[in-house]
Structure 1
Amino acid sequence: MTPESPFAVPTIATIPANTSSAEARSTLARLHDLAQEQENFQSRLAALREERDSLILRGLAHGLSSSELAATSHLTGARVRAIADAAASSSARERVSRAISRLVEHKPAVCTTYGALAAAVGIGSAKGVASSLSTNPGVSAREGARVLLLRWASPALGGYIIPSSEPAWQTQGDDTATRLECLKAEGLVMQTVGPDGPIWVVPFDRVIADANRLTPIVAG
């Protein structure tokens, strides 16, 4: 017969019915200790991963290749790139969140465009800002409503035409207001008559579409 391992996990069937209360207390105490050790280990592991990721980002910033960093840290190149992408995305969300907060604080109330905001916060494209806003818990839908599409600009009507509905508009929680309703609440739109009837427009003088003008406001 193969001798039973001293580390074998007992089952209900193998625990004697007359197990003493001392043995029960010992079992519970050891389980408690193991749980604490595991928690400490997981905390330490998380700290090590955070330090590793920080060093990888520092290495990339100093010109080290992702393949060299991957080999040294025993990771794949894809994992190193994912760490870099996640850091860039997080940084972009933070910059957009701060910029929107300052834009909302500005008096008088104004709007901006995706392109101007992208240039002001150093994000590569208007699409990058749109993506950041759609996944940014630090920016409410009402705050995000201040960022307009450049193609809505209508020189003939003197401002940016705000659609009455947007299929891609994302609301948050119980707040189901549309962009138009958000802008109405802030007094940023005026009603005028377009080719097909009444429309709502944000006047050009309430939209900062120039990144050079926007930067001092959102970077202050």
Structure 2
Amino acid sequence: MAAATTSSTSARAASGQLPGTAPRAGSDDPAEVLSHLNTLAARQQQLQDQLSTLRDERDDLILRGLASGLSSSELAEKAQLTGARVRAIADAAADSSARERVAEAMAKLVAHEPPICTTYGALAEAVGIGSAKGVASSLATNPAVPARAGARVLLLRWANPALGGYIIPSEEPSWQTQGDDTASRLECLQAEQLVVQITGPSGSVWLVPFDRVVADAETLSSIIS
């Protein structure tokens, strides 16, 4: 019996079959292997597409449920998800909606004649986003808003009543354009002729005059609506 076992093990080793596995079906013909792999890959893609469709439908139902007053815990139980996951779905939808609103607002702002700027706070209030920081984050990660357009959204603290406008820093490490475009915010605003150079107490500065900045949310809303 021991000899038979040894013989059986040797046969499996010679055939490339692992212990405890069923014999492989089919041949090792390269063309057949490639064909089978291609079939499996196509089937896998079909299943992934179906899963993606189901997830989109599930997320849409969750958002509709939340909008109709259902609790996240109730929706999570029915969807077999955690409450945190349901809230994450809602947050992602809100972020996506905010990005769309910001992109639409910026497109209309850039199209306005004469050229104008606004502030993060005014834009946040006009598009219904909770904070100026939220707008800044949306602009920084929004591929639908060119960085040169984002240059028109200014910080309120740059306002200088004594000089009559918003002083634009010559260097701003936290802000940059995209890709190969290395222009600074100041250079972007100079290209749009939105800044003027004046002499301040500490020397020459560039500023956007107050009459070129829409800092009131209600006025901005009428422009971007």
Q: TM-score range by the shorter chain?
A: 0.7 to 0.9
Q: Is the 8 A contact 2:158 2:167 kept in 1?
A: yes
Unaligned runs of 5+ in 2: 6-12, 18-25
Match of 1:116 among 112, 119, 122: 122
Q: SS state of the match for residue 193, structure 1?
A: strand
Find out whether 1:66 has 2:72 as its counterpart.
yes
Find out whether 1:77 has 2:83 as its counterpart.
yes
Question: Offset of 1:29 from its aligned partner?
Answer: 3.6
Question: Offset of 1:149 from its aligned partner?
Answer: 0.7
Percent of residue pairs bearing the same amino acid type: 67
In structure 1, what is the equivalent of residue 147 of structure 2? 141
Per-residue CA distance 1:162-184 (angstroms, 9 max, x = gap): 11111211221111111111100
Question: TM-score under structure 1 normalisation?
Answer: 0.88
Partner amino acid for 1:44?
Q
Higher mean displacement: 166-175 or 195-204? 166-175
In structure 1, what is the equivalent of residue 216 of structure 2? 210
Query: Which structure has more RCO (C-alpha within 8 Å, separation ≥ 6)?
Result: 1
Q: Is the 8 A contact 2:165 2:208 kept in 1?
A: yes
Partner amino acid for 1:114?
Y
Higher mean displacement: 30-39 or 51-60? 30-39
Match of 2:49 among 31, 43, 46: 43
Q: SS state of the match for residue 71, structure 1?
A: helix
RMSD over aligned CA atoms reads: 2.2
Change (3 A) 1:59 1:163: same
Query: Moved runs in structure 1, 4+ residues, more than 6 A?
Result: none
Aligned partners of 2:183, 2:147: CA distance in 1, in Å?
A: 8
Question: TM-score under structure 2 normalisation?
Answer: 0.86
Match of 1:13 among 13, 16, 27: 16
Structure index of larger Rg: 2
Change (3 A) 1:12 1:58: farther
Find out whether 1:105 has 2:108 as its counterpart.
no
Aligned partners of 1:213, 1:40: CA distance in 2, in Å?
A: 50
Aligned partners of 2:69, 2:141: CA distance in 1, in Å?
A: 30
Q: SS state of the match for residue 107, structure 1?
A: coil
Map of 1:158-169 to 2, 5 A cutoff? Answer: 158-169=164-175
Q: SS state of the match for residue 192, structure 1?
A: strand
Aligned partners of 1:86, 1:180: CA distance in 2, in Å?
A: 33
Aligned partners of 1:68, 1:77: CA distance in 2, in Å?
A: 9
- Count of residue pairs brought into register by the alignment: 208
